[in-house]
Amino acid sequence: MSKTVLITGATAGFGKASAIKFANHGWNLIITGRRAERLEELAQSLTGKINVHIAELDVRDESAVKHMVDNLPDDFKTVSVLVNNAGLALGTDPSYAANLEDWKTMIDTNVTGLTLVTHALLPILMNNHPATIVNLSSVAANWAYPGSHVYGASKAFVQQFSRNLRCDLVGKGVRVTSLEPGLCESEFSLVRFGGDQEKYDALYGGANALQPEDIADIIYWVATQPAHININSLEVMPQTQAWDNFKIVRES
Ligand code: NDP
Ligand code: 8X3
């Protein structure tokens, strides 16, 4: 019987690439996101290969999340992999110049949205073990950098939530992974830079950044390890990215 994966934020980047990766391996898909036309296009492109259920969804909307999970068609109720991918960063200004609405949106999406989806789907995953939750955290969870403030903190939440979930789910057939990528080329930075294409090009120019397909390969690998293996956390950077010296501001 075909397996089923639910992916949040499947309209772009890692989520879309993951949908294609799982579909290429015969998995049925539940694809979600706010831009329904993109979900339709993705489903159309996979027609004939596998079964796709589309759910237009804002992960911040508690009743919509519950409605989506409670109303999964029978054929899709055997979902055994959740890719908690929907998320975003807004802005790169220092905290004292940041927009409070941006902070709220990041917390509502990356923290609250991810927990709403997890809470709603956990009973189903526990019924369909071996199951896997792959949570998209970030290198920003592990390493501080200027302008990361709430984004990095939201991803640190995702990492620790993943570890804490492991404690509850150990022995219950549900694995949990915190995936922590570094620089990856996707719409993510266009969203973060408020649509500024020049800034986007400057960031990725010559950087040979990770690609969404690289992350999709890793997500698929994590989810298809033998059932006795749990990848707790996995940090990945492009070869061209590394840490740098701490900044020291000298008093004159
Ligand atoms: P993209 O911007 O390419 O895609 C983000 C996806 O999240 C879109 O499909 C978007 O769909 C969805 N999304 C955003 N807000 C919501 C919401 N409120 N409700 C539902 N869906 C939402 O980003 P990436 O693919 O690059 O990033 C995916 C995840 O990986 C994010 O959590 C990000 O923080 C994380 N990450 C990204 C890195 C990078 O360098 N790109 C590195 C490390 C982690 P729609 O707008 O249609 O709703
Ligand atoms: C995205 C990676 O380095 O822009 O999570 O914070 S980074």
Q: Which residue's CA is minimally distant from atom 5 of ligand 2?
A: 138
Q: What is the pLDDT of residue 240?
A: 98
- Tell me the average pLDDT across 184-200: 98
Residues 6+ apart with CB under 8 A from 132: 80, 81, 82, 174, 175, 176, 177, 222, 223
Q: Which residue's CA is minimally distant from atom 25 of ligand 1?
A: 13
Q: Are 109 and 88 in contact (CB under 8 A)?
A: yes
Does a structural domain hold residue 10?
A: yes
Taking the centre of ligand 1 as the mean of its atom positions, its distance from the CA of residue 100, in whole angstroms, is 20
Order across the sheet with 52-56: list the strands. Answer: 52-56, 28-33, 4-7, 79-84, 131-136, 174-181, 233-236
Q: Is 152 close to ligand 1, i.e. is its CB under 6 Å away?
A: no
Q: What is the pLDDT of residue 132?
A: 98
Atom in ligand 1 nearest the alpha carbon of residue 191: 2
Does a structural domain hold residue 16?
A: yes
Does a structural domain hold residue 250?
A: no
Q: What is the pLDDT of residue 196?
A: 98
Residue 157, pLDDT above cutoff 90: yes
- Tell me the average pLDDT across 97-116: 99
**pTM for this predicted structure:** 0.98
- Tell me the average pLDDT across 243-252: 95
Q: Is 182 close to ligand 2, i.e. is its CB under 6 Å away?
A: yes
Does a structural domain hold residue 187?
A: yes
Q: What is the pLDDT of residue 2?
A: 83
- Tell me the average pLDDT across 47-68: 96
Indicate the number of domains in the chain: 1
Residue 49, pLDDT above cutoff 90: no
Q: What is the pLDDT of residue 1?
A: 73
Q: Is 188 close to ligand 1, i.e. is its CB under 6 Å away?
A: yes
Q: Which residue's CA is minimally distant from atom 9 of ligand 1?
A: 9
Q: What is the pLDDT of residue 101?
A: 98
Instruction: Render pLDDT for 114-147 as a digit per residue (tens, 0 to 9).
Output: 999 999 999 999 999 999 999 999 999 999 999 9
Q: Which residue's CA is minimally distant from atom 4 of ligand 2?
A: 183
Does a structural domain hold residue 245?
A: no
Q: What is the pLDDT of residue 37?
A: 98
Does a structural domain hold residue 11?
A: yes
220 catalytic per annotation: no
Taking the centre of ligand 2 as the mean of its atom positions, its distance from the CA of residue 166, in whole angstroms, is 24
Closest ligand to C-alpha of residue 8 is 1
Higher-confidence residue of 129 and 49: namely 129
Does a structural domain hold residue 241?
A: no
pLDDT, averaged across the chain: 98
Residue 59, pLDDT above cutoff 80: yes
CB neighbour burial string for 215-228, b if at least 16 within 10 angstroms, e if fewer = bbebbbebbeeeee
Q: Is 12 close to ligand 1, i.e. is its CB under 6 Å away?
A: yes
Residue 252, pLDDT above cutoff 90: no
Residue 198 sits in which domain range?
4-236
Instruction: Render pLDDT for 162-177 as a digit per residue (tens, 0 to 9).
Output: 999 999 999 999 999 9
Atom in ligand 2 nearest the alpha carbon of residue 140: 6
Active-site residue, selected from the candidate residues 96, 145, 151, 220: 151
CATH of the domain at 206: 3.40.50.720
Does a structural domain hold residue 243?
A: no
Q: What is the pLDDT of residue 91?
A: 98
Instruction: Render pLDDT for 206-226 as a digit per residue (tens, 0 to 9).
Output: 999 999 999 999 999 999 999
